[in-house]
């Protein structure tokens, strides 16, 4: 799944998922070994 990461006008990290037409703000970030896990406002967790 392709996503676009960007900072919004308030300076917060935001994720856009084109296939789902979803745009959500990142509420937390954690590092698990070599993987960064982003938690979105809707509860989704994305590993990058």
- Statement: residue 13 has pLDDT above 90: yes
Structure tokens at 2: 């392709």
pLDDT at position 1, please? 80
Structure tokens at 19: 């296939």
Residue burial 22-33, b: 16+ Cβ < 10 Å; e: rest: eebebeeeeeee
Model confidence over 15-47: pLDDT tens digits?
999 999 999 999 999 999 999 999 999 999 999
This prediction has a pTM of 0.84
Higher pLDDT pick, 32 / 1: 32
Domain count, the chain: 1
pLDDT at position 45, please? 96
Structure tokens at 42: 């809707």
Domain limits for position 40: 3-47
Q: How far apart are CA 41 and CA 25, in angstroms?
A: 6
CA atoms within 13 A on the CB side of 22: 15
């Amino acid at each position: 799944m392709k996503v676009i990461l960007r900072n919004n006008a308030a300076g917060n990290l935001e994720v856009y998922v084109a296939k789902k037409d979803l745009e959500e703000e990142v509420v937390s970030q954690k590092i698990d070994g070599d993987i960064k896990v982003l938690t979105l406002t809707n509860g989704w967790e994305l590993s990058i």
